[in-house]
Every structure is written in structure tokens, then in C-alpha cells.
Amino acid sequence: MANPTPLTTVKPGEQRTDTWSELLGRVGEAQDQHAFKQLFDHFAPLIKGFCLNNTNQSFGNDAAEEIVQEVMLKVWQKAPSYDPSKAAASTWIYTVMRNARIDMMRRNKRHQIDNSPIEVDDLWDEDSTTGPVVQFQRLRDEEVVQASFKILPNEQRQALTEVYMKGKSHSEVASETGLPLGTVKSRVRMGLQKLQAHIAGTAHAKVQA
Amino acid sequence: MNHTASGRSSSGRPTLSNTSSSPAIINHHPDANMLVEYASGSLPWGLSIAVSAHLQLCQHCQQQHAKLSALGGSCLNDAPKEAVNDDAFSRLLSNIDKASTPAEDKVIEHCQQTAAQTLVNAKRAGINAEHLPRVVKKLLPPQLRWQKISNALKSARLITGQGKHEVAFHKISKGGKVVEHDHRGLEVTLVLEGSFSDEEGIYCPGDFLVREPGQVHRPTASQNQDCLCLSVCEAPVKVTGLLGTLLNPFLSIQPA
Ligand SMILES: [Zn+2]
């Protein structure tokens, strides 16, 4: 299950998300080094753990440290474009990390990317144009998604975790676990459907409340 | 649409209370599995181009993707913590110092250059760049080389920095019919301009189609406008008409 980070000042759950988002906002607005240090102390071990947990490619300790450096450097550099009303800090940092991992994997096969007119940030671009309504919904969704994820049946949560944690395609998950591709796909889909239903239910409840 | 009941609604299931106002009607979307692979970074580069381009046109999928990214954030929150090296933060600070040349100015300048360049490139290629997704604009080379495949169909390959998928523009001239073909691999088509139809329906800008290997189809462009698509194929498309390529010129002038 979730392992709520034992922090002294911050409660787990939504509260926690808000605190990190606020800190990240301060880094972006004022290059606040103190806030950045707090973010680092929290997220650096998570990023490293996330990468070491990635059995897809054998990330050694050094590679994981490098990714931490790269992700947190990008976090510092890109923080001015972070909009707390659009995404929680953990989600935003996740996308920075995802892009850094893709970039690192691509740089390992350099001969292919030398002449590429597009880069990782062109393909996984978080600044999509969306109206204010959608932005508001994003934040609310995020809170609900994170809560809902934890109540999924084991099998489905695991399938989703494999895909996210290990950065694996469905067929890679299938060949590693020995499950048929169709089973992997349907577990992922069912997990998402449950999340969807839970989110819709929560949204409905909020509207009625 | 591709295979069976994917968790993703193809027609705007009420995911959230009040999101019925979408600017363009897009009926065909990447399925849930493909979006998950995209959001988690495991979808191959070539296919990711098509998904990314679709997202820039489709608010519905943008919202799905935002949720899937939040799920990634949730996984990050739940990752097992691993202590970093003692000097990690001081190393980071010196990395920041080293990198602190005003990168932003460079980026902006670079973007403006490419924006101006894009218009020139697109015009030269006979493409209206205005409505193209950003990522597609970036893929436009200075000299797009159209290759005639039949009277009705031409294509231009794009350089994308990978070799697994063939990424190309396809243009079907108005009213043109494309020779029957099937695929050895998965084929994704994103409609960019105009529209086309096949045995199963009609497809408009933003529509995202997945053809499984072995599926045979014969697209026909609408009468009023050329149809421009971005296509991403696992393997080169082969012609399967009885007389093969010889058949193309004749097929293309047959009435739809
Ligand atoms: Zn869509």
C-alpha cells in the first residue's frame, strides 16, 4: 500500500501535496534555495528509489544518482514555468523525471538521435493549451486520483505500478511476468476504469455536497 | 477504432461533471493502454509522436493524460526511499551554477527561429501550418520530398530520430481512392487536414486511427479537399491488390 512519508510537519495525503506544491511555487517565483533544499530532501530519495526499482534497465547506484542530479537540476531550471493550479508538485516532478529517463535512454543510442528535429520535451509537453476550467479540474482530479489509486484491487494496482514504476510497455510486462499480453492490457484497463469510476463518483459527491 | 471496449470512451464519457464543451468533434482516440504507455514513457518514440500530436488537438485526451500523469506522481510519492549520496545536494548546487547561463533566452530565441522557419517550410511543402500540432510543425524539414505513390496518394517521410517506425505525411487528393492495402505491423493514422472515409466510417482532423496488422482497408478522401494525414507504421505498407502496384493508377480514378 501507500507508504505515507513520515514527515514531522506535514500530514499525508492532500495536505502533503499542497505543501510541496507551495514550496515548488516558491522556487519558481523567487529562486528560494531554502524551499529547494526541502524539496530535494523529500524528492531526491524518492526519485532514486523509483529509478533503482526500475528493473527494466539495470540502473546502478551511480546512474540513479545521475538521474537525481539531472531531474533536480531541471526542476530548478523549469520551476518558473510551474503552475500550482495546473498540477501537484509530485505530478510535475514525475513528468520531469519521466522525460529525463527517456532522454537518458535515447542518448545511449546516440547515432539515432543526432539528426532528430524534436526532443523529449517536444513530445511530452506539459504546457498544452487548456482553458481555466480544465486547469481547475486538473488539480481536483489529481487529489482524487492519488487517493483512488490506493483502493484498487491488488492485481490491477500492481499492473499499473509495473507500467509506471518500471517504465515498461505492456508487452515487456507480459514477457517478464509470463502473463498473456491481453491479460496485462485488461488489468491496466480495468484498473483505470475503476479509477475513472471512483473519480466520477467523487466529483459527483462534491457537486452534491 | 481499434480493438474492443477499451477503458477509454471514444465519445466523451462523462469523466468530469461539466466538460461537454469541446472545440472540435473528435471521435477516434488512442485507447487507454496506449495513453498509459505514453504517460509512463514506454511507448516507442514514433508512436509517441502521433499520440502527442493528437493530445495537442484533443482536450478530452489531454484530461485523460493529466490524470495518468497524476497517477505517475502518485507512484513517485509511493516509491521506496533510497538515501542519496551525502554530497548530492552540494553537487547539485554546483551543477546549477555551471548551468546558470541564461538558458531561457536561448530557448525563446530558438523557438522563434523555428516558428518562422516552420511557416517557410510548410509553405514550400504545400501545407497549411496554421492548424498543425506543434510537434508536427517541428518535424517539417526545410525541403519536404513528396513521393507519388499513385495518382491519388503521395507521401513524404519525416526524420524523427528513430528507426523502429516509419513516420510520414500522406496526402490523398480530393475524391481520391487509395489502393487496397494491408500492414505487416501496426499502423497509426492521425488526420490533420480534410477528411477521408473507409468501410467503417469517416475521419476528420484530430481523429486517431489504429490499424492492426493484417487489416485491409481502402481510404477515400472527401470530394471537397485534399486529405493530409500523419502516419506511423511499424513496417512498410505493402500493396495487396491482385495486380499489385500496377493497379494503383486505375483504382485511383475509379469513382469512390
Ligand atoms: Zn483524444
Question: What residue ranges do the domains of chain A occupy?
Answer: 1-129, 151-209
Residue B62: closest C-alpha in chain A: A128
- Asked if A104 contacts A70 with a C-beta cutoff of 8 angstroms, the reply is yes
Cα–Cα distance, B192 to B119 (Å, whole number): 16
Enumerate the H helices of A31-153 as residue ranges. 33-52, 61-78, 89-107, 110-113, 120-123, 132-149
Name the CATH topology of A1-129: Rna Polymerase Sigma Factor; Chain: A (1.10.1740)
Minimum-distance CB partner of A169 among B42, B84, B141: B42
- Asked if A151 contacts A116 with a C-beta cutoff of 8 angstroms, the reply is no
pLDDT band at B113 (very low <50, low <70, confident <90, very high): low
- What does DSSP assign to residue B163? S
Cα–Cα distance, A178 to A180 (Å, whole number): 7
Percent of chain A with pLDDT over 90: 33
Contact (CB<8Å) B18/A133: yes
Substitution target from A50, A73, A175, A186 for chain B, most B beta carbons within 10 A:
A50
Minimum-distance CB partner of A69 among B67, B92, B161: B92
Question: What's the pLDDT at A68?
Answer: 95
Give the position of cell 484498487: A152
Residue B172 Cα to ligand 1 midpoint, Å, equals 23
CA-wise closest residue to A71 among A108, A33, A106, A45: A45
Percent of chain B with pLDDT over 90: 39
The C-alpha of A106 sits at a distance from chain B's nearest C-alpha, in angstroms, of: 9
Give me B29's grid cell. 482516440
Cβ neighbors of A166 (< 8 A, separation 6 or more) are: A53, A54, A55, A56, A173
Minimum-distance CB partner of A130 among B59, B72, B103: B59
Which chain residues have CB less than 5 Å from ligand 1, an ion?
Answer: B 29, 58, 60-61
In tens, the pLDDT along A181-194 reads 999 999 999 998 88
Question: What's the pLDDT at A83?
Answer: 86
Give me B206's grid cell. 484530430
CA-wise closest residue to A96 among A125, A118, A136: A125
In tens, the pLDDT along B207-237 reads 999 988 777 778 899 999 999 999 999 865 5
Contact (CB<8Å) A117/B160: yes
Q: CATH topology of A1-129 equal to that of A151-209?
A: no
Question: What's the pLDDT at A53?
Answer: 78
In tens, the pLDDT along A106-126 reads 887 765 666 688 888 888 876
Give me B100's grid cell. 546558470
- The winner for highest mean pLDDT among A167-176, B79-88, B241-250 is B79-88
Residues forming a β-bridge with B155: B147, B170
CATH number of A151-209: 1.10.10.10
Helix (H) or strand (E) holding B141: none
**Hey, how many other C-beta atoms are within 10 angstroms of the C-beta on B57?**
23
Where on the phi/psi map is residue B201: left (φ > 0), alpha (ψ -120 to 50), or beta? left
Question: What residue ranges do the domains of chain B occupy?
Answer: 143-253
Residue B31: closest C-alpha in chain A: A189
Residue B164: closest C-alpha in chain A: A112
Give me B244's grid cell. 499489385
- What does DSSP assign to residue A204? H
In tens, the pLDDT along A17-28 reads 468 989 999 999
Q: What is the DSSP string of A50-75?
A: HHHT-TTTT--HHHHHHHHHHHHHHH
- Asked if B219 contacts B207 with a C-beta cutoff of 8 angstroms, the reply is no
In chain A, what residues touch B85 (CB-CB under 8 Å)? Answer: 65
Q: Is the pLDDT of residue B112 over 80?
A: no
pTM of the model: 0.81
CATH number of B143-253: 2.60.120.10
Computed on alpha carbons and rounded to an integer, the radius of gyration of chain A in Å comes to 18
Least confident of A86-90, A146-150, B15-19, B192-196: B15-19
pLDDT band at B174 (very low <50, low <70, confident <90, very high): very high
Question: What's the pLDDT at B221?
Answer: 92
The C-alpha of A95 sits at a distance from chain B's nearest C-alpha, in angstroms, of: 7
Minimum-distance CB partner of A73 among B15, B44, B96: B96
In tens, the pLDDT along A40-58 reads 999 999 999 988 877 555 6
In chain B, what residues touch A151 (CB-CB under 8 Å)? Answer: none
The C-alpha of A138 sits at a distance from chain B's nearest C-alpha, in angstroms, of: 7
Between residues A49 and A206, the one the model is more confident about: A49
Cα–Cα distance, B196 to B224 (Å, whole number): 11
Question: What's the pLDDT at B1?
Answer: 37
